[in-house]
Amino acid sequence: MTEFIRTKGSTSQNKMNDVIITTDTGEKGEPEINLTGTVVENPVVSCRIEGEDGAILFNPDTDDTLLINSTGFSLWTFLDQPRTIDDIVLYFSATFSDCPDHFTMRQEIEAFIRELVPKFVLEADVDTTESNSS
């Protein structure tokens, strides 16, 4: 089954309002996703760029595909290393014009990440403390 993330508005890569995400899911009993840590792209997932329209993500382990818009693709490429939701919000604030307020943008990003976990993005519990044994 193919899942789609549809865009609203134009495909301009510099407008945050293009990242408004709508989905046809909403299933009950989904696993709890904790977004207080970091998230990173799933290394098994391949990404095929579809011009200015965005990209297609494919997970060969689950045979799932996902169509993302150009703003979603920007987020995907930003997740090449573990990032917190705050990191992502700051990145989008600095990169895109016409961003919604911080609270709305965070909600939209969290909703998008929840659609990506665990098939396309992994939650990474990165220990930020150094374990230097002397």
Query: Is residue 105 domain-resident?
Result: yes
pLDDT at 16: 39
What's the CATH number where 41 sits? Answer: 3.90.930.60
Could you give phi then psi for residue 21, rounded to 5 degrees? Answer: -105, 135
Residue 30 included in any domain: no
Question: Which of 114, 36, 43, 119 lies closest to 81, judged by CA?
Answer: 43
Structural domain count of the chain: 1
- The answer to whether residue 107 is domain-embedded is yes
pTM: 0.68
Q: What is the pLDDT of residue 1?
A: 22
Q: Omega before 60 cis (within 30°)?
A: no
Q: Decide if 134 is inside a domain.
A: no
The whole-number pLDDT of residue 32 equals 54
DSSP H helices, 5-134, are 70-78, 85-95, 102-116
**Is residue 92 domain-resident?**
yes
Alpha-helical (H) ranges within the chain are: 70-78, 85-95, 102-116
pLDDT tens across 84-116, in order?
Answer: 999 999 999 998 888 888 898 899 899 999 889
Is the pLDDT reported for residue 21 higher than 70? Answer: no
Query: Strand 55-59 relative to strand 64-68: parallel, antiparallel, unpaired?
Result: antiparallel
Classify residue 70: in a domain, yes or no. yes
Query: Is residue 56 a part of any domain in this protein?
Result: yes
pLDDT one-digit tens code per residue, 24-73: 344 444 455 667 789 999 999 999 998 888 899 999 999 999 999 988 99
Residue-range definition of the domain harbouring residue 49: 3-8+36-120
